[in-house]
Amino acid sequence: MKIIAKNCRARYDYQIIDTFEAGIILTGQEVKSCRMGHANLAGSYVSFMNEKPVLKSMTISPYKFASGLEDYKPGRDRPLLLKKAEFKKLQSSLQEKGVSVIPLEVHAGKYIKVLLGLGKGVKRHDKRQRIKDRETERKMKKGEEY
Question: Containing domain of residue 122, as a range?
Answer: 2-145
Given a contact cutoff of 8 angstroms between Cβ atoms, the answer to whether 62 and 34 are in contact is no
The pLDDT > 70 percentage for the chain reads: 97
Given a contact cutoff of 8 angstroms between Cβ atoms, the answer to whether 28 and 55 are in contact is no
Say what the alpha-carbon torsion angle 25, 29, 32, 34 is, to the nearest 10 degrees. -60
Residue 144's pLDDT band (boundaries 50, 70, 90)? Answer: low
What domain count does the chain have?
1
Q: Is the pLDDT score of 127 beyond 80?
A: no
Task: Name the burial class of residue 63, with classes exposed (0-12), middle (13-18) and buried (19+) by CB atoms within 10 angstroms of its CB.
Answer: buried
By C-alpha distance, which of 44, 27, 33 is closest to 114? 44
For 65-69, the CB contacts below 8 A with 24+ separation are 65/32, 66/28, 66/29, 66/32, 69/29
Q: Please state, rounded to an integer, the average pLDDT across all residues of the chain.
A: 89
CB atoms closer than 10 angstroms to residue 46: 23
Q: Can you give the CATH number for the domain in which 127 is found? A: 2.40.280.10
pLDDT tens per residue, range 80-100 = 999 999 999 988 888 888 899
Residue 69's pLDDT band (boundaries 50, 70, 90)? Answer: low
